[in-house]
Chains A and B, each alone.
Chain A
């Protein structure tokens, strides 16, 4: 990554192709969404089918300059639209490709699939839940979306393909989008879609057992469940989209039917509020300990790099063994972040950012021998990387990402190239960021959601204050170091003074004072380290994390913009139609009507997407706040304890000195 990008919140991968996205993004989003969901349910199996898909889509991918995985699917969609069904099929597949989610879903699906399929087909409409959907749906929805696609590929490929094929000739785009949109919409739409998702979510608990039993690889994590369900829902949506396409209302009634079966299994879940769901998440503490240790310099000169030992200890079944260790270099960590943010950022997930690249610090390590500042740099980075990984795996969705597992488990990782600060990819990223920043400025979002309105402002303020606080704590660290150094120098000086004092008792007392000051110097030094590692680094982490949160808000804003643009376009198309009617040009009228239909579908899709991302972001932010509170409390208490310890030592030292001072005569 470019240096700048590293510092700032995670870049938005999509940024480059905003326009494209607007038109065809929906599809892409849906797919990307799937990828996210994949994370939830990544299983090894999935890889096979996707691969095929990959090959095909690759071309598209390459065509994009950015070549982000995410972007690829989006473009594909576009291209596919014109092309016949075969392409579409590819697209579908391609989506799953990114993640192995399909695989996961597949094993589990086996059981649920048939049922689900049947159910959904009949009553995709049937979500009873009609709860305030968004909150609970969030995760489920996204997961489902993804899962859907995956499933489609694996299981329903043939049927789906068929369905799509017919459409391509005429308004293929619509079909696609519709399908996708429907899926997505469900969660967002309070009535029908939500219900579907909710159902899925609800059902999720039930499927778990089956999943675990059927597929040994799947994690016990809830997300898997979601995937299963989501898959089911996807299927439903696929079937239903055509029917429901424009008649969402109609769908609603039907929804109730499927819900019923699900409800039985997951009756407890439906009533849960967002918070409760989150509680659940945090409660189901995963047994996963990651430590980053043994930084080691590999190689010499400017090609040298630091390698770290990443040890994992877990009882999660998703991993091949209980304890394993790999060696990773810094760019691997950055590469992991790149992969994760490409896949998950656009869905509104907060992807924890890794520590910044520091050319200066690293150069010192490379060139410098064993000087304390480079040792400190290495330790600082080691600790930061450890915290980074811990944050990644503590995110229930990210933990499911195959790339995370690969990072933790796989012996050799392909070298992450794009993370180099000065690489071409880095430059492109910088460029994207710039465009993104510009587009961000031009978007004037009229915020309707009070919660977001406040939260965005809060985060902005919080970041500002954290930065300020960070600067001050850094200053404290420096002053404390300075104090430590000055105390050491003073101690030496007092020792000398003591040696030249000709009163024996006073001379003795002065050399005792010198010893006390020497010890105090140690205390200050330790305290400076605590100031830094316990307090300052905590703030640095959260400044980066708040940047990531802001990135999520931006993603949401982009989704909103896409939706608004589609609305505008629809409006224009309608005006064209009106003009044609007035001008009495029936030959062009049909085309105009088709276009209107197309844009109506897009508007619906984009709106749902926006609602979906809003739900996800909201849930993510709540989760983030909770983690933040926990982190801060834990760390600050730890910090205060270190201060307390310092004071206890101080008391010891001065108490020992007092009789010496009194003995002066």
Chain B
């Protein structure tokens, strides 16, 4: 095993999530995940436009996604086609939705998070450094762990990007967006660059203003009980789901560590067992074999909790943020509208610039009404989606937990049967 091979694990890993290309990390891919990965959103699939990520290639610090589209819509030249997209292009698409006034009344599907392989890289480096001081057994184990972890992150990244596209494709309005179509069809680099420092600073500033404004806007009592209720709910919900998401991550991380420990215990027991051919050594070997199996199950428990629970929470963390943003836009529009009303009253009182004030007031009124009109439906949809997704995931979580616990139980029972028979 050399370093080159190792780094190749990270750099040239090519995965087609929908083929069986993930054989290296079978632990992390439960069969349930093979299907469409839009697990966190309950989408009515529509045959007129289907989007998925058929392939993904990990290179150094970027991941290249192959976006595959099947469509009967007339504005596409072909019925089926694929393009290669990078994370930045997804962000560009997302930002274009956010910035468009036209979509102010919609919950913009949350952008997928940046692929983050730092943890894996760190581990890889440690593995490389420790290579000399490790036995082959340990090295193999470490490598396995690393690969499995890497694959899990990779797969999650792919899934998140795919969910984003699916959400857009299923959205009655956004699916018709021109940028989206370009994103899907244009088979060249979209030459979107990452934001430079100045733009990032501007973004940061905008965000500060926005959140300050958000507080201001949130303080305004809504005229509509529905929105008032949604506002209170989302504020609290968002904070709580954020908390749960962070805590589930921590829980799962320690679960993974425990599984890794069991893995190492298994391999040390194996070494102990191969020292000799005594009865006790055979005993050790059997126990090692058992631990080797149970740790796989434990790792899968952790991985499945990650997929079914942590990812669900994380997705709704972002989605609830998107819903909050929608409410903010509406709140802002409401404030603008009220201000315009006041300005109009003033103008009328002074009889000055009345026409202009009327126009502004009308524009604000229209904007507010337009947002309110779609926002109500969007929020109702959000709730429906959320309940359905939680139901689906929690049921699956419980089923997987049961499956794994039963698997563990069976392993332990048969192993104990053998061990007790021997002694």
Contact = CB atoms under 8 A, between A and B. Distances in A.
Given A479-B257, A637-B423, A493 B394 contact: no
B338 interface: no
Nearest to B233: A502
Interface stretch (A65-73, A284-292, A401-409, A466-474): A466-474
A658 B268 contact: no
Given A493-B240, A625-B278, A651 B390 contact: no
Interface string B276-300: 1011100110010010001000000
A482 B279 contact: no
Contacts of A647: 405-406, 408-409, 412
A494 B402 contact: no
Contact of A651 (B265, B391, B406, B413): B406
A493 B244 contact: yes
B168 interface: no
B139 to A, nearest CB: 15
Interface in A629-665: 629, 632-633, 636-637, 640-641, 643-644, 647-648, 650-651, 654-655, 657-658, 661-662, 664-665
Contacts, number: 160
Q: How large is the interface on A (under 10, 10 to 19, 20 to 34, 35 or more residues)?
A: 35 or more
B416 interface: yes
Q: Which interface residue of B257, B284, B387, B394 has the most chain A CB atoms within 10 A?
A: B394
B419 interface: yes
B305 to A, nearest CB: 10
Q: Which interface residue of B269, B284, B412 has the most chain A CB atoms within 10 A?
A: B412
B417 to A, nearest CB: 11
* B interface majority secondary structure: helix
B264 interface: yes
Nearest to A651: B405
B272 A469 contact: yes
B407 to A, nearest CB: 9
A493 B268 contact: no
B347 to A, nearest CB: 42
Nearest to B413: A644
B275 A479 contact: no
Contacts of B398: 654, 657-658, 661
Given A469-B269, A500-B240, A502-B233, A665 B409 contact: no
Contact of A644 (B254, B284, B412): B412
B254 A482 contact: yes
B391 A633 contact: no
Interface string A487-525: 101100110110011110110011001000000000000
A158 B394 CA distance: 91
A483 B257 CA distance: 9
B264 A472 contact: yes
A658 B412 contact: no
A501 B241 CA distance: 10
Nearest to B407: A647
B391 A665 contact: yes
Nearest to B246: A493
A52 interface: no
A458 interface: yes
A633 B395 contact: no
Contacts of A265: none
B401 A654 contact: yes
A506 B391 contact: yes
B271 A494 contact: no
A502 B255 CA distance: 31
B251 A661 contact: no
A265 B86 CA distance: 93
A500 B237 contact: yes
Nearest to B264: A472
B399 interface: yes
B261 to A, nearest CB: 4
B383 interface: yes
A19 B260 CA distance: 52
Contacts of B236: 500
B388 to A, nearest CB: 8
B280 A661 contact: no
Contacts of B387: 503, 505-506, 664-665
A316 interface: no
A497 to B, nearest CB: 4
B275 A465 contact: yes
B244 A494 contact: yes
A243 interface: no
A469 B395 contact: no
A640 B251 contact: no
Nearest to B402: A654
Contacts of A654: 398, 401-402, 405
A505 B387 CA distance: 9
A505 B408 CA distance: 31
Contacts of B375: none
A468 B408 contact: no
Nearest to A628: B280
A480 interface: yes
B405 A487 contact: no
A447 B394 CA distance: 65
Given A487-B251, A647-B408, A654-B398, 8 more contacts: A458-B276, A461-B275, A476-B258, A486-B250, A490-B248, A496-B243, A637-B423, A647-B412
25 contacts: A476-B258, A480-B258, A490-B244, A493-B243, A493-B247, A496-B243, A496-B244, A497-B243, A500-B236, A502-B383, A503-B387, A506-B391, A509-B390, A509-B391, A509-B394, A629-B279, A633-B419, A637-B416, A640-B416, A644-B416, A647-B412, A654-B398, A654-B401, A657-B398, A658-B399
Enumerate the 10 nearest inter-chain pairs by beta-carbon distance, A residue then B residue, closest first. A476-B261, A664-B391, A661-B394, A483-B254, A629-B280, A486-B251, A650-B405, A479-B257, A490-B247, A479-B258
Interface of A: 458, 461-462, 465-466, 468-469, 472-473, 475-476, 479-480, 482-483, 486-487, 489-490, 493-494, 496-497, 500-503, 505-506, 509-510, 513, 625, 628-629, 632-633, 636-637, 640-641, 643-644, 647-648, 650-651, 654-655, 657-658, 661-662, 664-665
Interface of B: 233, 236-237, 240-241, 243-244, 247-248, 250-251, 253-255, 257-258, 261-262, 264-265, 268-269, 271-272, 275-276, 278-280, 283-284, 287, 290, 294, 383, 386-387, 390-391, 394-395, 397-399, 401-402, 405-406, 408-409, 412-413, 415-416, 419-420, 423
